[in-house]
Structure 1
Amino acid sequence: MRKIVPIALGLAGVALLSGCGKRGFDRARPDEFAVARQAPLVIPPDFSLTPPQPGAARPQDAASNTQTLDALFGGPAQRSAGESATVTQAGGDTADEGVRSTVGDPDTSVVDKGATTRDIVAAPEGDGQDARASTQGK
């Protein structure tokens, strides 16, 4: 019995080591980076680009604030008829241009009315002092 355990462990070790040999598995596999082909270099077509005017401002030198506003709000684009009517009806011609700056300004006076006022404003219509429980079904 004492000899069986070392012999079994020895056979298991030999079986495990034989799996590491080259006999069962081919370790030579293709390199995925070596088989990729690169496209040949091509001269791009002439897009008839106009050369820059001497002394003219470079387009990429525009102020970052202007670029940001154009990216966010689309710049001075034409509005559709429906959008123009909505803006006119909402009083867009009399609106303050810098309202977004005024709202976020730390010097703007803001009064915190508290959670009670928020709950009253957000309460559904009919809840309040005059609300009554009805015993009749509808």
Structure 2
Amino acid sequence: MKRNLILAAGLVASLSACGGGGGLFNRDRPDEFAVSRAAPLVIPPDFALVPPAPGTPAAASVDSRTEAMQAMFGGPAQRSAAESATLSAAGRANAAAGIRSQAGDPGTQVVDKGATTRDIIAAPEGDGQNARAAVPQQ
């Protein structure tokens, strides 16, 4: 009897949240008759277009990659005086022309920095809050 009374009280309490206010039937809805159709989009004629001049390259022969690079980055910009001085101090004139193609070459000799450098490079990113130090056993 006591269990049924508790169950009934719980049922009444949970159903009381559904009452009042009208729920789904008493809410603001958009007026379906206030919707109007929009006119279709029309591309107006462009009378400023002229046919290409004889001897000019066709539009399809233009390199889209070059056009995209020009659009994104512009052309080669002038370097500032500070940037030019920094590059000159770094030895810009002494750099080998093909050094970038040789940097990742397996035949390039590099200095082995050891396991510590590899551990630092392979460390997970983060703010270091969960970092732990371990002393290696010797």
- State TM-score, norm by structure 2: 0.40
Which structure: larger Rg?
1
